């Protein structure tokens, strides 16, 4: 596996050993109810305590990056307004920063103005964009000016309609071509640290997801670190039966496959289990490191 490093707030973060990114949702409506940190009412002391505890949990369980999102992008979801997204993020990031001032924080947003606010006001070090810059044409230029790493994800369509009728000639080749082209556009805008995310579950059928997983090692050819986010998604529970709440075992199975095929970052709800998966895969790669 290529030993990438990315610049996070002026310090180099090594991806030689895979890292775990823990999800912190500042939403009342994310697809996995166990990840929701906000109630449907105004931001409260109870919400703040949930966010504080989740921040602590991610770090205590071995997570390296906290990925904070304030706009649900589950299939069929409608966008919240920019003002509401900023309100949620400002309240939540204030709690996260007070609890863990030195933590590496990624913000999940497709809006350039939101990304700018998060980096400027809260020292956010990474921007995670599900839309690959397609939903805000100012995003690539903004990221170049901010000088932060950018997670470039592939999505066909938009969250509200992406699962209606996704079609590819060859899903792996088509997604790789997209990521390669958009990656070059990012570099043209001065973005140096780009992380590729194939976008499991975003505008892809069950068959598309597993075909892409089968050929995941091909994404190494992009020359970018690879992030995989399958945590509790429908590609797991639709095949096995059950609900997102029952999809942890399947998530771990796919995370191990992804690690064996070269994933550098796992984006997950369940941090401890993902960290354990990383440890086991790394021990398999380097058994000599286990010698007493």
Average confidence (pLDDT) over 90-102: 97
In the structure, what pLDDT confidence band is assigned to residue 94 with cuts at 50, 70 and 90?
A: very high
pLDDT in tens, 112-143: 999 999 999 999 999 999 999 999 999 999 99
Q: In 3-state terms, the chain is what percent helix, strand and coil (to 5)? A: 45, 15, 40
List the catalytic residues.
233, 267
The model's pTM: 0.93
Tens-digit pLDDT profile for residues 185-235 = 999 999 999 999 999 999 999 999 999 999 999 999 999 999 999 999 999
Integer Rg of the chain from CA: 18
Residue 76 has what pLDDT?
Answer: 59
Top-confidence range, 46-50, 74-78, 118-122: 118-122
Q: Are 178 and 198 in contact (CB under 8 A)?
A: no
Rounded Cα–Cα distance for residues 217 and 116 (Å): 33
Superfamily assignment of 5-280 in CATH? Dihydropteroate synthase-like (3.20.20.20)
| Average model confidence (pLDDT) across the chain | 92
Question: Please, how many CA atoms are within 13 Å of residue 246, restricted to the half-sphere of its CB?
Answer: 7
The average pLDDT across 251-259 equals 98
Number of Cβ within 10 Å of residue 244's Cβ equals 21
pLDDT value at 25 more than 90: yes
The confidence score (pLDDT) of residue 166 equals 86
Q: Where exactly are the structural domains of the chain? A: 5-280
Q: Tell me the pLDDT tens digit for each residue of 146-170.
A: 999 999 999 987 776 667 778 899 9
Determine which of 79-83, 255-259, 263-267 has the lowest per-residue pLDDT on average.
79-83
Q: What confidence score (pLDDT) does residue 17 get?
A: 96
> Residues 230, 234, 235, 236: is their CA dihedral positive or negative?
positive
Q: Quick one: pLDDT at residue 2? A: 78
Q: What is the average pLDDT across 9-13?
A: 95
């Amino acid at each position: 596996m290529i030993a990438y490093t990315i610049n996070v707030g002026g310090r180099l973060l090594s991806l030689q050993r895979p890292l775990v990114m823990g999800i912190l949702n500042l939403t009342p409506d994310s697809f996995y109810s166990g990840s929701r940190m906000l109630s449907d009412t105004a931001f409260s002391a109870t919400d703040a305590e949930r966010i504080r505890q989740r921040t602590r949990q991610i770090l205590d369980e071995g997570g390296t990056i906290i990925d904070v999102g304030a706009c649900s992008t589950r299939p069929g979801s409608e966008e919240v307004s920019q003002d509401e997204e900023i309100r949620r993020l400002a309240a939540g990031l204030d709690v996260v920063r007070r609890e863990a001032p030195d933590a590496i924080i990624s913000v999940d947003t497709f809006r350039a103005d939101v990304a700018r606010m998060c980096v400027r006001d809260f020292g956010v070090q990474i921007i995670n964009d599900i839309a690959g810059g397609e939903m805000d044409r100012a995003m690539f230029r903004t990221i170049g000016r901010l000088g932060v790493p950018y997670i470039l994800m592939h999505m066909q369509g938009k969250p509200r309609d992406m699962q209606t009728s996704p079609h590819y000639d060859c899903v792996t080749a088509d997604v790789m071509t997209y990521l390669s082209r958009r990656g070059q556009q990012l570099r043209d805008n001065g973005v140096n640290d780009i992380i590729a995310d194939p976008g499991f579950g975003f505008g892809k059928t069950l068959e598309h997801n597993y075909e892409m997983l089968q050929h995941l090692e091909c994404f190494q050819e992009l020359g970018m670190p690879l992030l995989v986010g399958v945590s509790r998604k429908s590609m797991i529970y639709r095949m096995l039966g059950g609900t997102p709440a029952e999809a942890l075992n399947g998530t771990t199975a796919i995370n191990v496959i992804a690690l064996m095929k070269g994933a550098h970052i796992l984006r997950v709800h369940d941090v401890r289990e993902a960290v354990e998966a990383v440890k086991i895969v790394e021990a398999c790669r380097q058994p000599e490191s286990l010698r007493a």
